[in-house]
Structure 1
Amino acid sequence: MTIVLGSNRYGKAENRIVRIYRDTPRHEIHDVSVSTALHGDFAAAHLVGDQLHVLPTDTQKQTAYSFAKEKGLLSIESYGIDLATHFVDHIEPVAGARIEIEEFAWERVVVDGAEHNHTWVRRGQEVRTAAISVEGTGPAQQVWVVGGLKDLVILKSTGSEFAGFMQDPYTLLQPTNDRVMATSVTAGWRFMTTDVDWEATYAGIKQILITQFATVHSLALQQTLYRMGEAVLEAYPFIAEIRLSAPNKHHFLYDLSPFNVANNDEVYHAADRPYGLIQATITHDDAPDAGPAWDSYTGLV
């Protein structure tokens, strides 16, 4: 039996980059965490410690920071494409590059009824994400882009049921036709093109996810996830598929009877674990090859 080196890649993880645009009196801020990973002809580094073909991870970090100025950081998807393409096109041993990005939102401070030009507070909503993979050079070069979000915490106090489920001798859960439904959505959507208005598309997809969660009378979280994904694909034909992961953040009616207090669906215990975890992929039956951008995409099936 022969031992051989399998697939491998290396890079610099979680580079925290803040880009402030000062072109006008109203400044703009983009706050991201960028991770790079390269694969290619790096066998000698593993087998004999030869670093000749190894671009240091520190160099990858420096490139990521410099590109925030050189190429701009208005959209994480276009920035990621520029960064990945650079490594593949200009670093000879590199056959492919993968860039993962998280963006943290900031909200302008309001002073005397007006938005302040250069002061923000961190917004406690979702984290925007992207994964970009570039393989090969020249006319055969392929680019895959995945947009997404995580930590989109959303709750509705009614309009959700869970009944008619399978039962066996270990089933204790009681059916309900009216419950609190809450989750923290992680989503990723795979683009079939790079000719995209990244900012408008992200805002539109987020609004669709929220709207469907709010308006679909849910018989199960699975049904809600499907409707959310279906609506995204209907609205954006250039998206091949969307993957959704949603932990069921259970809210259990709290027993106030020991205190002779009526609890008419008003006081709940929010349980953080254990929790049901619902995941689904919604796609077109003729969707093209996913490519490596989906590989190990955090939190998704």
Structure 2
Amino acid sequence: MSLEGYKNRCLHRVNAMLQTVLPRQNPVNTTVIAAMRYSVLNGGKRIRPLLSYAACEAVGGHLENADPAACAVELIHAYSLVHDDLPAMDDDDLRRGKPTCHKAYNEAIATLAGDALQTLAFELLSSPELLAETRLSASQRLLLIEVLAQASGHAGMVGGQAMDLESTGLALRQDQLVTMHNHKTGALIRAAIKMGALSHADVAPWQLAKLDQYASAIGLAFQVQDDILDVTADTQILGKRQGADQALDKPTYVSIMGLKQARSYAQTLCQRAITAITEFDNAARPLRQLAEYIVQRTH
């Protein structure tokens, strides 16, 4: 199957699952429900769910068992974008070609919608009733919760975001930038891959170790390509403000290394990821294709 065919298959699946798990109403407040759905269902590449599905299949698992992991990691990603766009952080008014959540609603509702998406992710992982077709043991569910919580919190994505905010206007070294993005961007990508693999009950320790090497490289490559696109793509294609990082005086791989070297670094990371999973059979082909897609994408 081509990468495009694989992507379409997985996107159709995860979007249907997200439609199912996202509430349509509650007896308390309908506005926050609308804001949650707006923030998740307004497009997006769904890279993290794709990686969860691909990792599950690479170790011999079935897609349906990776549904909770794929949905939960996307809910956490969506919450992080809602909060990242707030005036207190990056103050963006465009996301995926549409007004950001706080522009479509207001800052308070956007904050609450992000909070609710975060808690829904963990409800989804802990509750067998939400995606009834999935067959995960209680121990698997507990491990998935642990992996996602660690990746999302103070020692993962949140810590990286805090470092990002405090680095504005500073001239970071490359090793400092790597540390920041290993947490801000890389932690959730690593979690997506590990959670996908753990959704298969018979995953081997060596497979988890190799997948983590893959994930570490591709998580960093994703951010390097984002930095490249911030200076090379236009706003209409990106779906968000072009040059936003430069406008905020944020250190990026392009600002530190230059555009040519940043592109070369992204390719090096891509090859490092592919090499890490050399021992996997053809079931890992989508992971190899996704590594190349991540550094070749235009938005």
TM-score, length-scaled by structure 1: 0.30
The answer to which structure has the higher strand fraction is: 1
Higher helix share: 2
Identify the structure with bigger relative contact order (alpha carbons < 8 Å, sequence gap 6+). 2
